[in-house]
Structure formats: structure tokens, C-alpha cells
Amino acid sequence: MISTLNIFFLNICIIFLILSVTFYLMRNRLPIQKDSKVSTRFYFGLANGVTGILLIHNSISINGAFIDLRLLPLALSALYGGPISIMTTGSMLLLYRVGMDIGESLTALENSIITLVSFIVLIIFCTWFIKPKGYLFTIIVSIGSFLVLVRMLLGNAETHAWQTIYLPYFLITALASFLFYRLSYMLQDHFVLYSYQSYLASTDQLTRLANRHVIMDKVATLEREQAPWGVILFDLDYFKAVNDQYGHAVGDAVLRHFSVLLTQECPDEVTIGRYGGEEFIAIFPNTLRSSPTEFAQHIVTTVTATPFVMQDHALAITVSAGVAFAQRQPASTVFKQADAALYEAKNNGRNQSYLYSN
């Protein structure tokens, strides 16, 4: 009895560990759903396949029969990933089951494979017609338990086997299913909340760009690497007048309008963010690949050619930009140089970019 409980809780620990690692590694892809990316559902199926293999390997011995909980990861694949996850998990379990055939009769192996394939087909069928996840999981586990009973009956089991083997199997499966179902939901909700909190901590809520904290972390990394990096400071011209004339709601919309333009035009390797107020920043990690000077002038031109459209008319906006390059000087010095260049751009009439030079 104690040995059975030990193996049962070992199985629960296996489930918890792999679920935790899976959801953590895929935290930026959560929640996992049937319309998630194919790669997401495939990886989730792989993780459940590993879980199923470990559960088979650590099966529970009851009255001379070995009981495993492989149907639980299959049910979880159906619950979240749909057919792609189910087929991935099922294929791994089938390959492992064939590989385990050491001295086992061919008939027993065939029965095992037929049972597993039938279960996979029934799961896919259920996912098409049953939408509530709680009902789906319960039905899948029930079908799996029923197939085990059918296999026992067809295998000429002893008359009392249903009491000594099947009933304990059903009780163990029911308890493990409840724990598995609750655990999966709790872990996914936890990591979804974790990802959202991480997003809030790193993102400016108005513009959805990186906030100042992320920008400074990026700069600190570039300083440590002593990479040739550059910075652009953007400042919307006469933004205070927009707020005063049209109100802060329009002012916020103008900031979002500019952030969208900045995102659309920005090279992939460049980090852009809101520096504060109507100031924005772009960090170029490799000035040999992308030119901050050319990009700054491109943004100035693009903003001029793309007015902010309100309900009744278009509002022309312009931006000034200051550019500076890091030449082994401290980041604080580079930012001061970019700020000085921005001041020169504004002092010379705005709607232009200016490169800092000694």
C-alpha cells in the first residue's frame, strides 16, 4: 500500500514538474488554445508525450497488474492543443510502446496498440463536438477507463479482476484526473498572469512601446559589451499647444499615432520606447548595420507626410530628432549629447534631425 502511494505521488510530481517547465518555457505563447500557432501546439504535444512516457515508465503495480496514467497527458493535449497536440503525444506514446516490446507476446502488443489508437481517434472525435473543457476532459478520461475495462474483458481476465485491478485503477485515475485538471488550469493561469505582469512592468501603457526601464537595461547591456551603438531622441513639436487646443485625449491619440509610425518604420534590431512625456527614443545596437542618422531623417519626413486624422479634419504634426553615437563614453554622456542635438534641431526651426558633433 505504501509503495503504491509512493509511486502515485511520484507520478503527480512528474506531472507537476513537466507542466511547470512547459508553461514557463512557453509563457510568451500562453494561453495555449486550438487556434494557437502550429508550433505551439506541436511543442505542447511533445511535452505531454514526455509526460506520458515517464508515467508509463513509472507505472503502479496493483495485484500483479501494472497501471499507468498515460491517458491524462493525452486528455490534456485534447483540452488545449486539439488534434495537432493529440497526434504528437499519441505518436510518441505509440513509438515508446512498440519499443517496450521485450519478450512480450505479439497479441498483447497488438491489443495495447489497438487500444491506444482507438483512444486517440475517439479523443479527436470528441474535440470536434464537445466545447466545454471540463466536460471534454471528463468524457476523455471516462472513455479511456472504459477501453481499459474492455481490454481486460477481451483478454480473458479472471472474474474477480474488475474488483482487484479495475476498481483500484478507476479510483486512482479519477483522483489523478482531478488533480491533473486543476493543476493544469492553476499553472497556466499563473504563468499568464506572470507574463501580463512582466508586460506591464516593461511597457508604456499609452503607446505600448518599451518603457524607460527597458531602454536603460538595453543600454547597460551595450555598455558592458562595448558595442558601437547609437541613440536618437525624438520630440513632438508644439505638443503642448495640441493639448491646450484639443485636450489631453487628442494629445494621447497623437502620441499613439506617432508610436505606430515609429514601430512600422523601425528596423527589427532597434529598440524603441517612450522616454517621457512627448519624447521617444530609439537605441541602435549596431550602427554599422543600420544608420541612426538616416533613420532619424526618415522618421521626420514620414511624420510630416502622415498627418493625424481626427473626426472633422487632419492635424499636421512634426517631430524633431537628436542623434548621438557612443564612442566608449558613458551612456549618460551619450544621452546628454543626443539631448544637445535635439535642442539644436528645435532651435534651428524644428521638423528636422540633427547629429551631435564636437
Q: Per-domain residue ranges for the chain?
A: 2-200, 212-355
Average pLDDT over residues 205-226: 88
102 alpha carbon, distance to own chain's centre: 40
Predicted confidence band at 272 (pLDDT cuts at 50, 70, 90)? very high
Neighbours of 332 (CB within 10 A): 9
For 243, list phi and psi in degrees, rounded to 5. -60, -45
3-state secondary structure of 249: helix
Position with higher pLDDT, 290 vs 75: 75
For 79, list phi and psi in degrees, rounded to 5. -65, -40
C-alpha angle with apex 55: 52 to 58, nearest 5 degrees?
155
Lowest-confidence region among 65-79, 208-222, 232-246: 65-79
The cell 511520484 sits on which residue? Answer: 10
- pLDDT of 101 reads 58
The cell 512547459 sits on which residue? Answer: 22
- pLDDT of 156 reads 55
The helix or strand, by DSSP H or E, that contains position 61, with its residue range, turns out to be strand 60-62
3-state secondary structure of 136: helix
pLDDT digits (tens, 9 = 90+) for 309-319: 887 778 999 99
- CATH superfamily, domain 212-355, is Reverse transcriptase/Diguanylate cyclase domain (3.30.70.270)
pLDDT at 280 over 90: yes
pLDDT at 77 over 70: yes
Output the nine-digit C-alpha cell for 119: 483512444
- pLDDT of 63 reads 63
